[in-house]
């Protein structure tokens, strides 16, 4: 994807004039899944794939003319329309525009054409890439760049909550806005403090295997998982009126055990996964600092097990890809992102890489009739204006 490609479509679909071009990436996450909305830690990085948009004020009060280049779909709508557009991609534009207005940005009518190369439904957060790209553009075109990076992260998250039906955490939008080439970022989702970790594993590489099974987070089991976690916190808080319990981050293993019978086995198992995952992120950061990639890999397998058996966000295809990784002595492998399809992320020794990929393609195709897609991870920069 390059600027000239997006620009040529922008010119063709609107009045021949050019605008400004912005880009934002999708993300990977080494470890720390479903911990963000539980006040825990995550360890993502931006990727070299994302969304690029050309945008230009069109002189109207609040008419947005939007063109999704990849879908060849055009939708025009007014920001004052209380319902907004129906097309799911256009709701991201409507939602982020409304959220930026709430932050005091005087958004007026504009034209926008955008394209992306983050694979859809792969768990690499194409939606956060859209939100942060559009937020970056609106901040620049209408807001004199006064909105902070964190406020843009929160505006993206609010877009998911208020216009797209997904009660997500802040990991994806954070990674897309703050990403830095060559670095993973450890984020404490409660305090919002974060640290860049240069990531260049000597002798290993990260590769994603995309099952091409599509997940659908909206109005879905994702929100159920979040409700389960919140339910456990509510029960623990009721038992300990002296304490302050906002998220599972505030809860101990003992407190979780105390409410096991009353919350039921399903919610218990989900909360158990989250408590373990919080510790695993910190253990992985320590292991990375020591250059102990085998330890990092062990934790990744543990996460997969928990996401599959306790959190129940895996599927047959992802469990199969994980098994293939084990069979090929891959150092670490796990589901990445929200789950219910998408990718596994694999930390693999350079000398095992070729054989692993060949075996995964062969066995997956034999079982499911198509090969998994393979993406070598390149850690790239966050949201930016290109021209």
Q: Which candidate in 36, 151, 172, 267 is catalytic? A: 172
What minimum distance in Å lies between the beta carbon of 170 and ligand GAF?
Answer: 7
CB of 238 vs ligand GAF, minimal distance in Å:
25
Q: How far is CA 226 from the centre of its chain?
A: 16
The contact pattern for ligand GAF, residues 287-326, with x = CB under 6 A and - = no contact, is ----------------------------------------
Minimum CB separation from ligand GAF for residue 259, in Å?
23
The one among 10, 14, 22, 37 contacting ligand GAF by CB under 6 A: 37
277 binds ligand GAF (CB under 6 A): no
Residue with Cβ nearer ligand GAF (107 or 171): 171
Stretch near ligand GAF under the rule CB under 6 A, chosen from 164-172, 179-187, 278-286, 379-387: 164-172
Answer for which of 6, 171, 175, 281 binds ligand GAF (CB under 6 A) is 171
Assess whether 172 carries a catalytic annotation.
yes
Nearer to ligand GAF, 143 or 380 (CB): 380
Among 33, 99, 302, 312, binds ligand GAF (CB under 6 A): 33
Catalytic residue list:
172
Q: In the complex, which residues of this chain contact ligand GAF (CB under 6 A)?
A: 33-34, 36-37, 125, 168-169, 171-172, 337-338
């Amino acid at each position: 994807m390059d600027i000239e490609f997006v620009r040529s479509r922008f010119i063709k679909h609107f009045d021949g004039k050019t605008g400004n071009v912005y880009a934002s990436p999708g993300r990977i996450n080494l470890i720390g899944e479903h911990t963000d909305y539980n006040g825990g830690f995550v360890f993502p990085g931006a990727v070299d794939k994302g969304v690029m948009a050309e945008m230009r004020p069109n002189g109207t009060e609040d008419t947005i003319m939007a063109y999704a280049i990849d879908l060849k779909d055009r939708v025009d709508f007014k920001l004052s329309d209380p319902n907004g557009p129906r097309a799911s991609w256009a709701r991201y534009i409507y939602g982020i525009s409304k959220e930026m207005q709430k932050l005091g940005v005087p958004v007026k009518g504009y034209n926008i054409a955008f394209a992306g190369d983050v694979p859809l439904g792969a768990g690499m957060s194409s939606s956060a890439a859209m939100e942060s790209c559009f937020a970056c553009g609106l901040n620049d075109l209408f807001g004199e760049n006064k909105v902070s990076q964190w406020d843009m992260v929160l505006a993206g998250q609010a877009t998911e909550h208020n216009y797209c039906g997904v009660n997500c955490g802040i990991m994806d939008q954070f990674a897309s806005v703050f990403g830095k080439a060559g670095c993973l970022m450890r984020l404490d989702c409660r305090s919002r403090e974060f640290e860049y970790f240069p990531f260049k594993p000597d002798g290993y590489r990260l590769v994603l295997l995309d099952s091409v099974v599509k997940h659908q987070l909206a109005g879905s089991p994702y929100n159920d998982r979040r409700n389960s976690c919140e339910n456990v916190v509510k029960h623990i808080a009721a038992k300990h009126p002296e304490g302050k319990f906002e998220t599972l981050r505030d809860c101990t293993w003992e407190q979780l055990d105390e409410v096991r019978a009353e919350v039921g086995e399903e919610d218990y198992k989900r909360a158990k996964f989250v408590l373990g995952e919080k510790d695993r992120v910190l253990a992985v950061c320590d292991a990375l600092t020591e250059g102990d990639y085998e330890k990092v890999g062990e934790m990744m397998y543990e996460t997969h097990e928990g996401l599959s058996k306790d959190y129940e966000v895996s599927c047959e295809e992802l469990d199969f890809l994980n098994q293939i990784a084990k069979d090929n002595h891959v150092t670490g492998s796990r589901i990445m992102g929200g789950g219910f399809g998408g990718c596994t992320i694999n930390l693999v020794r350079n000398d095992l890489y070729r054989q692993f990929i060949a075996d995964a393609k062969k066995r997956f195709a034999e079982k499911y009739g198509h090969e998994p897609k393979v993406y070598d991870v390149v850690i790239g920069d966050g949201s930016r204006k290109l021209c």
